[in-house]
Amino acid sequence: MRTAVVTGGGSGIGAALVRALVADGAYVVCADLDLDAASAVASSASGPGTAVARQVDVTSSAAVEEAVAAVVTEHGRIDLMFNNAGITWLGATESLSLAQWNAIIDVNIRGVVHGVHAAYPRMIAQGGGHIVNTASMGGLMAAGLMTSYVTTKHAVVGLSLALRTEGAAHDVGVTVVCPAAVDTPILDKGEIGPFRGRDFYLEGQGVKRPVDPDVLARRVLAAVAANEAIVIEPRQARIAWRVGRLAPMFVNRMATRFIAKQRAQAS
């Protein structure tokens, strides 16, 4: 039975990953700051696998270390580490407080670093494993009114692709997940000022409807099995990414117009 730790497992993409892993027969630690939410997900996941809930604050390196160490102590190894926990702020950059900047950096960057620090050396020692870091299309492309989020998700993409080049020598795979808007509670959180998340994320990423988190989770597990570097969903997002690579300044101009439209609508 493979072992896995999923941070941010109490909702959204994390909860979907827990469900998919249990259905696939894995032993999963559903780690979340909200223990009640993690417990609800763990108890509702069905399949040949098993899920247990654990309260983990990813901004605490000790908490993440203890969660991974407990799995290794009990099962002898950690096969899969999903660094998924994340937050967002939507609003004008000048409206962000330094506390908000620090909070998103702590969760979205340091939270991933803590997961890598806890799992990667153990995976090297055991002769293999796989790390999955949840980023976003915001980690591949950039638009304003979510500057802090884009900053952190670009860091996660860079960390993941760099680590992948090192991990290959140790049979440790690394995959970074970069979906467009996913139908999770994060779409309706983190708003600052007059801007509203769900419509902003859908229109800004050129998708008509958000990605189903359970569909995304199954796609991620398939990518892990195939040792893919990047997961981009849905198809429209992959097209936008390719256009951005070929014509970055064209995409930048389009993003500038989109931001101007959002400001006009909010005024």
Residues annotated as catalytic are 149
Tell me how far apart the alpha carbons of residues 5 and 78 are, in angstroms, rounded to a whole number.
8
DSSP 210: P
Tell me how far apart the alpha carbons of residues 99 and 54 are, in angstroms, rounded to a whole number.
27
Alpha-carbon torsion (30, 88, 134, 179), positive or negative: positive
DSSP 73: H
Order of strands across the sheet that contains 3-7: 50-55, 27-32, 3-7, 80-83, 129-134, 172-177, 230-231
What SS3 class is residue 27?
A: strand
Q: What is the length of the chain?
A: 267
183 token code pair:
């139908």
Say if CB 36 and CB 114 are below 8 A apart: no
Alpha helices in 24-146 (DSSP H): 35-44, 61-75, 98-105, 111-126
Closest-CA residue to 217 (of 175, 187, 185): 175
Which residues partner with 177 through β-bridges? 134, 231
List all residues 6 or more positions away from 254 whose beta carbon is below 8 Å from its beta carbon: none
